[in-house]
């Protein structure tokens, strides 16, 4: 189990970097509104990295227990239910980041494997 801690004074970029440090080849983006499963989030609603997480979440700090066995949809639901944070997982494919919309039912471990395989293929 890996822990992602978002402190009271954390900026969005801090939380994003902490997540990337736990799950190589994956990243999260924060949004102002939620999205449905297997749906994309509007880039217009993306929260800038320089903003504090407290601007979109009143109840900080939070600790999230995450694992590679967790599905993308479970992670996104956990952030939503525990902290009211709307996140979307992205996977690095070669040199670009893609939303995992079509693979929300894959685990984080499977997403990491897809990312790693894209570099070697």
Burial of 19 (0-12, 13-18, 19+ CB in 10 A): buried
- pLDDT tens-digit series, residues 83-116: 999 999 999 999 999 999 899 999 999 999 999 9
- How many domains is the chain partitioned into structurally? 1
- pLDDT tens-digit series, residues 26-38: 999 999 988 666 6
Question: In this structure, is the dihedral angle defined by the CA atoms of residues 104, 109, 112 and 113, taken in order, positive or negative?
Answer: negative
Domain around 105: 2-120
Please give the model's pTM, rounded to 2 decimal places. 0.90
């Amino acid at each position: 189990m890996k822990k992602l801690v978002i402190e009271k004074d954390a900026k969005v970029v801090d939380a994003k970097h902490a997540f990337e440090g736990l799950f190589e080849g994956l990243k999260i983006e924060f949004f102002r509104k939620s999205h449905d499963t297997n749906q994309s989030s509007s880039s217009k609603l993306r929260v800038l990295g320089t903003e504090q997480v407290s601007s979109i979440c009143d109840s900080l700090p939070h600790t999230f227990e995450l694992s590679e066995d967790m599905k993308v949809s479970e992670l996104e639901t956990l952030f939503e239910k525990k902290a009211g944070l709307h996140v979307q997982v992205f996977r690095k494919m070669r040199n670009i980041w893609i939303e995992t919309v079509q693979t929300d039912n894959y685990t984080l471990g499977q997403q990491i494997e897809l990312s790693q395989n894209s570099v070697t293929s």
